[in-house]
Amino acid sequence: MFIDYITLMLINMVAGLFLLADYVYRGIDSSNQRQWIPGFGITGAIALTTGLHMSFTWPVMGSFNIAFGETSVLFGILFVAAAVSLAQGWDLLTIAVYGFFAGAVAIVVGIRIINLNLTKQPLLSGIGFILTGLGGILAAPTLYWKSNRTWRLIGVAVLIIAALIWALTGYLSYWNHLEGFQKWVPAPMRQ
């Protein structure tokens, strides 16, 4: 049965990237780390759940399951781990190291989307993946240089630009999916 919830995954990523940008901007050196726990947890839960489902069942056509499903698993587990770590008062360094490798995957996927001309807007999607991946790659240096306000502002800018790209993509997809799927019927209900 065809199920397309990439729109949900995109808007969840938008929320997560904006929350992460806020954390980098005003939370990374805050004495109140706990205020980001619910947002990171919600983002992580949705990304991990939808990503695992997509990776295991391949509900959409072709390599989109890899590009969106597997990267969503990586994105989701990072946010879940960040929420748990903030709740427990643990250091975020090992999560940032994991973020480096997850970010590298997102960059590879972004380059390959552009290269293979995947999605309706491959350049925009590719740049979105690349910038999101840069966020992961720059996580550990950002923790190390958290007192450097300029460095953090660069990180915030990268995250916000990525979030805006995904917001444009996601909201336009919702707009188009509502029209395109308005008469779609699951196979068991077709006559």
pLDDT of residue 83: 98
Cβ distance 16 to 38 under 8 Å? Answer: no
pLDDT of residue 42: 98
Q: Which residues contact 190 (CB under 8 A, 6 or more apart)?
A: none
Burial class of residue 191, CB neighbours in 10 A (0-12, 13-18, 19+): exposed
List the alpha helices (DSSP H) in the chain: 6-22, 37-57, 64, 71-88, 93-116, 122-137, 139-144, 149-180
Burial class of residue 182, CB neighbours in 10 A (0-12, 13-18, 19+): exposed
Cβ distance 177 to 4 under 8 Å? Answer: yes
pLDDT of residue 2: 62
pLDDT of residue 185: 79
What's the Rg (C-alpha) of the chain? 17
pLDDT by residue for the chain (191 residues), tens digit each?
567 899 999 999 999 999 999 999 999 999 999 999 999 999 999 999 999 999 999 998 889 999 999 999 999 999 999 999 999 999 999 999 999 999 999 999 999 999 999 999 999 999 999 999 999 999 999 999 999 999 999 999 999 999 999 999 999 999 998 888 888 777 778 87
